[in-house]
Structures are given as C-alpha cells and as structure tokens.
Amino acid sequence: MLKILCGLAASCLLATAAVQAEPIPADVAAKAKLLRDQALQDSIAYELVESLTMEVGPRPAGSAGDKAAVEWAVQMMAGLGFANVRTEEVDVPHWVRGDLAADIVAPYPQSLHATSLGGSPGTSVDGIEAEIVRVTSLDELRALDKEKLSGRIAYIDHRMEPSRSGAGYSAASRIRRCGHYIAAERGALATLIRSAGTSHHRFAHTGSLLNRGIPATIPGIALANADADLLTYQVLQGQPVNVRLKSTAHFLPREKSANVIGEVPGRGELANEIVLLAAHLDSWDLGTGAIDDGAGVAIVTAVAKMILDSGTAPRRTIRLVLFANEEFDLDGAEQYAKNHRAAITNHIIGLGADTGAGRVWSLRSRVAESSLDLVDAMHELLEPLGVERGDNRASGAPDLGPMRKASMPVLSLSHDASKYFHFHHTADDTLDKIDRDDLNQGVAAYVAITYVAANIDADFGRLTPDTRAKRSCSAEDDTWKSFPD
Amino acid sequence: MLKILCGLAASCLLATAAVQAEPIPADVAAKAKLLRDQALQDSIAYELVESLTMEVGPRPAGSAGDKAAVEWAVQMMAGLGFANVRTEEVDVPHWVRGDLAADIVAPYPQSLHATSLGGSPGTSVDGIEAEIVRVTSLDELRALDKEKLSGRIAYIDHRMEPSRSGAGYSAASRIRRCGHYIAAERGALATLIRSAGTSHHRFAHTGSLLNRGIPATIPGIALANADADLLTYQVLQGQPVNVRLKSTAHFLPREKSANVIGEVPGRGELANEIVLLAAHLDSWDLGTGAIDDGAGVAIVTAVAKMILDSGTAPRRTIRLVLFANEEFDLDGAEQYAKNHRAAITNHIIGLGADTGAGRVWSLRSRVAESSLDLVDAMHELLEPLGVERGDNRASGAPDLGPMRKASMPVLSLSHDASKYFHFHHTADDTLDKIDRDDLNQGVAAYVAITYVAANIDADFGRLTPDTRAKRSCSAEDDTWKSFPD
C-alpha cells in the first residue's frame, strides 16, 4: 500500500504520517476488534477451567495431580488442534503438606485454623510448645534480640488489605518468604504469620517459604485471619500465650514434571518469530487451582484457539506454554529460559495470565521506548473493555521473568485483584469463584493484543538484560515490589 | 391514674378510650425509647460475644468447651450483678466428630471438603466405598426402590438459597434430618447432602441428624457447596461415580451440662411474673459460635444488664436463661419446661435470640388475640429502627418451644438472615462476622419491648397448649415450616 501511495510525493508524505500515527494497519485492527468482540460471547475459556478444576483439581509440583495435569494439557492441546504439541521436562521439588495441629494451650485453649507454608519442615512427633512473641513487621522482628526470641515462636501479625492492584501482596508475601529466616537467626523455634491474603473467611493462605531457593530451617505456618484475630486477642490480654504446633510436612525426592507447549504456526518471513503466551499449570494443593492459575491457563489457551480458528494463520508463531511449578520457585520458567536461550531474540513479546479471572483494567508494558506508540495503539483496542493504559514498568507474569531478564519485552494485563487475594492459595480457590463474563472480558483483552502482536511488521524492541541477583531478606530490600508484576 | 380520672363520668369514658388506644403508659414508652436509643451506642453486647468466642470458643454439648461455657456464663452473670444466678443441670449427649475423609475415587479422583453431621455414626476402619446415586429432593429419594439404592451412597443435591427471612432453611434442614432415614430404609450405606446452608466458600455446614430423637443408623455427611458442585459435575458426565468415606464419628457416654440462669428481680405485686429472655450457650464444634448463638447470648444479656442498670427495678422479674444443648435436640429447653411446669402461668412472655446478629427487620408474635393491640403498640417503638410488624404465628426461638407449647406467649424479632446461613454451623462462624452496629440495633429492639413487657399492667394472654407430636419424615410432613420460627 505504502509503495503505491508514494507514486506521488505529496501522498507519500501523507501516507507516512498516517502510518506513524496508526502503528496498527487497519485490517489487523479490524480483525483484532472482531476477535475481541467474539471473545465476549465465547464459552471455551470457562469450559477449559471447568475441565481442569473438576477433572484434575489440585496439582502441586511433583504430585500425582501434577502428572495428571500434564497429561490433561497435552491431550487438551492436541484435541484443540494446536501444532507441535510437546512437553519439556522440568525437575521439581516434591513437598508434602502432611497434617498440622496448631493449638493455643494457654491462657484460653483453642484450636487454630492454620496451614504449613510451602517448603516448611515439620516438627518432631511431640511437636513444639512455646510462648508466642508477637510483632507486626519484619523491622520489629529484626529489632528483637536473641534472648527475647530464642526458644519461642515468632508471630508476625501483619494484615494484608485488598485493593484493585493487589499491591498489598508485596509486603505480605515478603513477610511470608523472609520472616522465618530472620526469626531462625534469632533462635525462634517456628514462625506463625497472619496469612498473606485477604480472605474474610476461615482459610489460611499457603505460599512458598523459599527466597532465593534457600530452604527453610524452622516451620513456617500461616493462620486464617479469624485465627490471627484470636491469637492477637489473647496476646493483648497481657498473659503469656503458649501455642503447640505439630506438623508432618516434609519433602520427598524430587520428581519430573513438564512445561507443556503447543503452537499456532506463523506463516511467511515472520514465522520464526514467537509471541509467547504463558500461564502455569501447577497449583497449590489446598484448592482446585481455579483462579490460580486455571483461569490463566483458560485465558491464554482460549486466545490461541480463537486465533487458530480465525481463518488465517498469524504471521508470527503463537507459542502457548503452560509452565511447571511456578508456585515453588519458577522451575518451569527457569528451564524454559535455559532451553530456549539461543532463540531469545526470536521471542518478540511475552504475555502471561496469572492473576485470576477478574476484569482486566489496565494494560502495562515493558518494551523499548520506540515501541510505546505501538502499545498505545494496542491499548486503544481495549478501551471499549474499560481498560486503562498503565506504565512501562511491568515485569510480566512471574513465568516470563527469566526470559524478560534475558531481554524479551513483555505486555501485562492487570486483572482486578480486589477479590483475587480472598481466594489465592486457599482451599477456597474453586471454580465457583470465576464469573464467566469477567473471564471472557479478559480473553477479549488478551486476544486483541495477541492478534496484533502476531500480525504487524513492527516488534517491541529489546530490553537491556537484567543481571541483578534475587533480592535478599535484608531491610534494604524490604521496599522491593514483587507485586503487581 | 385511671381511678382519679374516673371521679367524673365524662373524663372516665375519655380516659378509658385513651387507655385502649395507648396500651403502653407514656412513662413506660418514654423509658423504653431511652433504653432503645442508649443501646445503639452501647458496647456491652459486643464485649460479651467477644469474650465468649475468644476465651471459650467452640462449646458443643458434653465437651470441655461446654463445661467452660457454663463456668463462663455463671461468672459473667455474677460479675454483671444479676440476682439468683444459678445453674440447672441438663443431661446431654456427647457426640464426637472425629476425623472424616471423603474422596471421589472414580472417574476423576478428588478429595471433598465435607463434615459429619451431628449424631452420625462413623464408618468401619476400612471405610465405605460405593457408587453415588444422586437425587435432588426427598420425593425423588422416596421414589427410588431398594434395588437402586441398596449398597450405594445416596447423594441429595438440594441447594439452599439465601433470603432475608431464611425461609430456605426449612426444606434444607428437613433434608438433613430426614434424608438419612429414608435412604437407610432403602438400603443405602451412607447419605451425602449438599450442605443445608448458603456459604459461597468452602465450608460444609454441620447440624443435627436427629428427628424426634431417633438415632441415625447410617453415616450422614454434608458437602461444601463447591464440593457438591464437583460431585454433581462428575455425576453428570454420565460415568459411575464412586466415593470413599472414612469417619471416626462416635458417641461418648452422656454428660452433665446446665442451663445458666440469672435475674433482674421485679418489684411489687407483679414481681412473681416472669419475662423470659432466652438464648443458647452451646454451639457446634466447628466455629467459635459467634453468630450461633454467641450473638443471642450477648443480646439478651445486654438487654437484662441495661434494665438492671436503668435505675428502677422492673415490675416483673426478667429472667435470663442461657440454655444447654439447643443444637442437638433442645435438651436444655425441655429440662427447663419440666423444672418450671408449675410456674408456667407466671411466664407471661418469652423472647429469644437465636438467628444471629443481623439487623432486626420484623416483630412477630404469638399472643392472645386480645393482646394484639399491645404488640402493635410495642412495634411502634421499633419503627425508628426500621422494624416491620409481622404476623401472629411466630414460634419464638427454638428454646422457647416447650414453654410455648405449654401455653406461654412469645414475641419474636426476625434478624436479617441473608448472610446468617453463609456462616451458620460452619467453621466460619467467628467473631469477625458480627457487625457492632447491626448487633446494637438488635439490642435496641429487644430492650425496648422487654422493658415494656416487664413494666405494664397488661400481659399477653395465654396460648392453647399444643400437644402435637414432632413431625415425622413422611412426605405429608414435608411442607412443615421449621424456619423462620
């Protein structure tokens, strides 16, 4: 088109200006809008998350459910007609929650609803019985000397507040990941935390204890909010509060899991370039993994399927990767980055879904400055869905982290997280928490920008590789934002 | 006053007419309004339910918590300054929930969140493994022949819907109490029900299996709504669904519990007449008994305390009774009626609180026709609280049942039950479910009418004794409304 228009100098100038103002060709934008609107009426995403939660259910790394999930995903991808369906092996830990009894024994005996945190060691058969030392922050915990904490149980009573962005999760999950290290250094026998979550119901939120892969040396246990209220009430009465903990949590030998991969092959000269769609197949063991991350699996799979069925192959290859073991320490994502290091520059953009099924309210990015106009133009396609344009500091979904650090640009759609952390990592993460219309609004947003990314000439530039080490548990790193991505 | 006014015949007529139009003397109404408004700002009710839930917690009949609750109540009543604080012994069952494992073993293995229903026998150590037969009503269950159900597990998939009146609980609790009898007659090995409750979260609702005191002969187990969804999904796939149940539920020898009684003594010639305030002290074992019935304990105790502290003794004696073992089969209520049969006509009115801490929206009654004007006048005092006037067919709180059947009139304040059955009989029944302002609105309503009942000349007449037997589990009785009272 451009060449023809340039037959006349005046038209050429005009057309160039038009192209600069419209980074997305009209036909691509039109098709993206069509797919977007079609997604609002579709049922495939809901059917996928229904099947995964009802037929596989909990699928923590290394478990029988994990293996069943890999099999489910391979059959699902093949059944939907994706190309190059395959698994890539991932070595994963196999932690078993076992049983936990957590009881206040004095002054007012009561049983607590609590759960061991992922990677926690168990207790001896006799358990641990000790006095509680309550603090409300990591700083307060660091300020305790050994004499105060030694032989006792640290209780970190920080309440996470819900918000649309889910921003409270950064501080809360940092307490979960760092509190037990800091307490152990000061001689504590175990750590209790008020859950890193916002459930108003009586669910303890699990989650990984690991930070930089360093194993936990003392049990780390999360209390449901109501039970943290109970413990706090008793502490505030002023008498010593003693708690007894018995846990059979333990590690079994490592297991093999897999990233499951399928593709919508590109066509023509851009076919070697990859638009990477990511979600994680594993879940915690307590719920059926509906919002975390069945919803993500459903969204990105539905997106790929809609483009597969749209009549014309995309120019770039759309690669759908359902990652293994996001929850513990991103084993699947690390393995993918290792396997595909040579092809890193072919991965022109990554887009992941890992914050539930709430309505998408923002498009964030981390792309080269020169590509911001393109992302702004993509955002215009999402405005009818009520999506705002966010900043260019997104990290992308956690599973995209290793590839982003190695220079892959990312887009990130923020789902409304006001309720996400009510259910996140609890037994209450079940299918009934997913609203079909909200889920489809998400699919609509993802499919529009995925379609564009796969069908335009431009790409998103490259990022400067990020070689920073993982953050430590020192006070200097407390302000680090791990969420939103 | 009346006698003086009657010194002149014309005035006498006028005054009589005025008295008929205003059944509550102005000074009594004024004081009732004062107490009503004061209650809205009070903190005692919340402090009471906080203390009971945080310091005693679960207190099912016969348990250590039950004994601790009786001790708590005696000390609390004495501490608040009530007169004649005493216990009356009640013989109660002691059922122990034990452990339960409920798992779908085929076609898609998953663990179910479930709980044994009160009074359920356990299984053998090997458990029960059998195919599910799903029905959606007692009528469908009755229509099954023995061949269809024998050796299988009946699954009654009836969903209770929430409402302000809580009306759905009649049918749902009837399924809980009757389903297992009907299934056992047809050879079923166990009964699963979708919980008689409306929690949107992953809590199974417990509750008694007993109807007319007849013991259950097969295990009765309730599923959380999300788990009933899961089981139903698998059944509807069309393949046989097999479930394995292992339960250690069992009865221990019966125990002694007690009704705990305290009084605000009356003065003058009506001092022998009793205004009975009722709540129940026991709770189920899963939660801390905040809404059921910590809230009721708090409301009626706060009412009595406010009147005690109001400066002048009431004319009638206000008797506060915290009943033992409402949950299983009303042992405390039956014992009270037995102990106080001779004084039945002294009990001029009963008012109980046993539907949580939601806002009161209706004043219902069961009084003599001749007393309806009086109740209407009492209702006027509650209109500023947003309370409607309900019908004259109330049963009163369950603990008032035996006394009502023996002729005691009752008043009944309906609390908004839209959320009550989200938490009722679950582990989620904890203090954080109580809103202080809503709780106080309830105290305000109760204190106004209690004050009036204790300080007027009139009473509420007597009811015709009700000698009907308890309802059976036959189809003819299915339409019986057990709730709202």
Neighbours of A352 (CB within 10 A): 33
Asked if residues B448 and B33 have their Cβ atoms less than 8 Å apart, the reply is yes
Check whether the bond before A265 is cis (ω within 30° of 0): no
Q: What's the whole-model pTM score?
A: 0.93
Q: In terms of DSSP bridges, do strands A100-106 and A410-415 run parallel, antiparallel, or are they unpaired?
A: unpaired
CA distance B228 to chain A (A): 11
Rg (CA), chain A: 24
Residues 6 or more apart in contact with residue A88 via CB below 8 angstroms: A258, A259, A261, A335, A336, A339
Q: Is A225 on the interface with B (CB under 8 A)?
A: yes
Q: Is B202 on the interface with A (CB under 8 A)?
A: yes
CA distance A201 to chain B (A): 6
Residues 6 or more apart in contact with residue B219 via CB below 8 angstroms: B116, B120, B121, B122, B123, B128, B180, B190, B191, B245, B247, B249
- For chain A positions 161-200, those within 8 Å of chain B (CB to CB) are 200
Is B230 in contact with A288 (Cβ distance < 8 A)? yes
pLDDT of residue A8: 43
Q: Is A288 on the interface with B (CB under 8 A)?
A: yes
pLDDT of residue B468: 79
Q: From CA A484, how far away is CA A361, in angstroms rounded?
A: 13
Is B234 in contact with A110 (Cβ distance < 8 A)? no
Residue B342 per-residue DSSP state: G
CA distance A436 to chain B (A): 16
Q: Is B110 on the interface with A (CB under 8 A)?
A: yes
ipTM for the complex shown: 0.92
Q: Tell me the average pLDDT across B395-404.
A: 96
Higher model confidence: residue B443 or residue A480? Answer: B443
Tell me: pLDDT of B118 over 70: yes
Is A430 in contact with B202 (Cβ distance < 8 A)? yes
Q: If we measure between CA atoms, which residue out of B87, B457, B436, B451 comes closest to residue B305?
A: B451
The label of the residue with tokens 């139009």 reads B21
Residue B10: pLDDT band by 50, 70, 90 thresholds? very low
Chain A environment of B233 (Cβ under 8 Å) = 50, 54
Count Cβ atoms within 10 A of the Cβ of residue B453 and give its class: 0-12 exposed, 13-18 middle, 19 or more buried.
buried
CA distance B473 to chain A (A): 33
Tell me which chain A residue has its CA closest to the CA of residue B55: A108
Q: Is A58 on the interface with B (CB under 8 A)?
A: yes
Is A202 in contact with B427 (Cβ distance < 8 A)? yes
Tens digit of pLDDT for each residue in B330-349? 999 999 999 999 999 999 99
Residue to mutate among A46, A103, A105, A202, with most B CBs inside 10 A, is A202
Asked if residues B176 and B117 have their Cβ atoms less than 8 Å apart, the reply is yes
Residue A53 per-residue DSSP state: I
Chain A environment of B202 (Cβ under 8 Å) = 203, 287, 426-428, 430
The label of the residue with tokens 């796939």 reads B237
CA distance A321 to chain B (A): 25
Is A202 in contact with B428 (Cβ distance < 8 A)? yes
Mean pLDDT computed over every residue of chain B: 94
Q: If we measure between CA atoms, which residue out of A363, A464, A379, A403 comes closest to residue A278?
A: A403
Q: Could you tell me how far CA A127 lies from the centroid of its own chain?
A: 34
pLDDT of residue A20: 52
Tell me which chain A residue has its CA closest to the CA of residue B52: A108
Tens digit of pLDDT for each residue in B262-317? 999 999 999 999 999 999 999 999 999 999 999 999 999 999 999 999 999 999 99
Q: In terms of DSSP bridges, do strands B250-264 and B317-323 run parallel, antiparallel, or are they unpaired?
A: antiparallel
What is the arrangement of strands in the sheet containing B410-415, beginning at the earlier edge strand? Answer: B83-96, B250-264, B317-323, B274-280, B347-352, B410-415, B360-366, B388-389
Tell me which chain A residue has its CA closest to the CA of residue B201: A428
Tens digit of pLDDT for each residue in A226-249? 999 999 999 999 999 999 999 999
- CB under 8 Å, gap of 24 or more: what pairs does B6-13 form? none
Residues 6 or more apart in contact with residue B358 via CB below 8 angstroms: B415, B416, B417, B418, B419, B420, B438, B442
Q: Which of B54, B200, B430 sits opposite A234 (nearest CB)?
A: B54
> What DSSP letter does each residue of A193-258 carry, written as one string?
EE-SS--SSS-----B--BTTBPPSS-EEEE-HHHHHHHHHHHHTSS--EEEEEE--EEEEEEEEE
CA distance B460 to chain A (A): 43
pLDDT of residue B478: 86
Tell me: pLDDT of B18 over 90: no
For chain A, which residues score pLDDT lower than 70?
A: 1-21, 484-485
Tell me: pLDDT of B351 over 70: yes
Is B108 in contact with A50 (Cβ distance < 8 A)? no
Is B202 in contact with A428 (Cβ distance < 8 A)? yes
CA distance A483 to chain B (A): 25
Q: Is B54 on the interface with A (CB under 8 A)?
A: yes
CA distances from B136 to A17, A384, B146, B177 (A): 67, 43, 18, 15
**A416: which strand partners?**
none
Among left, alpha and beta (phi > 0; psi -120 to 50; other), residue A207 is left
DSSP H stretches of helix in B188-266: 225-236
Chain A environment of B229 (Cβ under 8 Å) = 430-432
Chain A environment of B427 (Cβ under 8 Å) = 113, 202
Tokens, residue B413: 């304040």
Chain B environment of A113 (Cβ under 8 Å) = 427
Chain B environment of A233 (Cβ under 8 Å) = 50, 54
Q: From CA B101, how far away is CA B123, in angstroms rounded?
A: 11
**A7: which strand partners?**
none
Q: In terms of DSSP bridges, do strands B110-111 and B100-106 run parallel, antiparallel, or are they unpaired?
A: antiparallel
Q: Which of B200, B202, B233 sits opposite A427 (nearest CB)?
A: B202
Neighbours of B137 (CB within 10 A): 15
Residue A465 per-residue DSSP state: P
Instruction: Compute the count of residue pairs across chains A and B with CB atoms less than 8 Å apart.
Output: 69
Q: From CA B292, how far away is CA B208, in angstroms rounded?
A: 14
Tens digit of pLDDT for each residue in B235-276? 999 999 999 999 999 999 999 999 999 999 999 999 999 999
CA distance B217 to chain A (A): 30
pLDDT of residue A485: 58
pLDDT of residue A212: 81
Reported in sequence order, the residue ranges of B207-249 that DSSP labels E, i.e. its strands, are 220-223, 242-247
Chain A environment of B50 (Cβ under 8 Å) = 233
Q: Is A428 on the interface with B (CB under 8 A)?
A: yes
Tens digit of pLDDT for each residue in B102-117? 999 999 999 999 999 9
Tokens, residue A144: 């305790």
Q: Is A229 on the interface with B (CB under 8 A)?
A: yes
Tokens, residue A32: 């993206």
pLDDT of residue A477: 86
Residue to mutate among B202, B206, B223, B435, with most A CBs inside 10 A, is B202
Q: Tell me the average pLDDT across B231-238.
A: 98
Q: From CA A199, how far away is CA A394, in angstroms rounded?
A: 26
Calculate what percentage of chain A has a pLDDT beyond 70.
Answer: 95
The lowest-confidence range among B2-6, B21-25, B129-133, B383-387 is B2-6
Residue B204: pLDDT band by 50, 70, 90 thresholds? very high
Asked if residues A162 and A124 have their Cβ atoms less than 8 Å apart, the reply is no
Tens digit of pLDDT for each residue in A293-335? 999 999 999 999 999 999 999 999 999 999 999 999 899 999 9
Asked if residues B66 and B285 have their Cβ atoms less than 8 Å apart, the reply is no
Q: Is B203 on the interface with A (CB under 8 A)?
A: yes
Residue to mutate among A54, A112, A206, with most B CBs inside 10 A, is A54
Residue B467: pLDDT band by 50, 70, 90 thresholds? confident
Q: Which domains occur in chain B, in start order? A: 23-95+253-455 (3.40.630.10), 98-248 (3.50.30.30)
Neighbours of A322 (CB within 10 A): 32
Tens digit of pLDDT for each residue in B141-197? 999 999 999 999 999 999 999 999 999 999 999 999 999 999 999 999 999 999 999
Q: From CA A166, how far away is CA A415, in angstroms rounded?
A: 9
Residue to mutate among B201, B230, B234, B288, with most A CBs inside 10 A, is B201
Chain A environment of B206 (Cβ under 8 Å) = none
pLDDT of residue B12: 42
Tens digit of pLDDT for each residue in B75-89? 999 999 999 999 999
Is A287 in contact with B202 (Cβ distance < 8 A)? yes
Is B430 in contact with A288 (Cβ distance < 8 A)? no
Q: Is B108 on the interface with A (CB under 8 A)?
A: yes
Neighbours of B126 (CB within 10 A): 8
